[in-house]
Homo-oligomer: A and B are copies of this chain.
Amino acid sequence: MKIFKPISEKKAKGKVKKIFNEIKHSRKIKKIPNFWQSLAHNPETLERTWNNLKQIMKKGALDPITKELIYVAVSITNNCEYCIRSHTFAAKKKGATDQMIKEMIDVVGIANQNNKLVNSYQVEIDKIYK
């Protein structure tokens, strides 16, 4: 099949155009990334996803850099190349250093290993953790 191709800003109308503008303004970017151009095939999904992401990734008890690093850690575990690249980009833009990224990667590596060691031995949960 032809996977849905990205919808360029020129072709954007109505709700899609409005959200595209909000993304560009909010992110201070000039070009809408392909992810949002793809979601534009389904304006409700575009709107929902953008609103959810904005709400979740904003500064809270965790700072935006930490949130981006957690996002990348999940994306590495799921092997989503687009997500790894775009959110490492975002993390760096927000101030993440190379050293921070490398330490995050190490944690992702050992966590994935230990998750499987736990499965291997079917380790019972200690009382203290219940």
Contacts and interface: CB of A to CB of B under 8 A. Distances in A.
A127 to B, nearest CB: 9
B129 A89 contact: yes
A9 interface: no
B62 A118 contact: no
What is the count of identical protomers in the complex?
6
Contacts of A81: 119, 122, 125
Interface in A82-111: 82-89, 91-92, 97-100, 102-111
A106 B34 contact: no
A16 interface: no
Given A61-B100, A62-B100, A70 B108 contact: yes
Interface residues of A, number: 81
Nearest to A78: B115
Contacts of A78: 77, 79, 111-112, 115
Contacts of A107: 56-57, 62, 67, 70-71, 74
A41 B107 CA distance: 15
Given A61-B99, A73-B70, A102-B42, A110 B52 contact: yes
Contact of A116 (B3, B102, B112): B112
B117 A75 contact: no
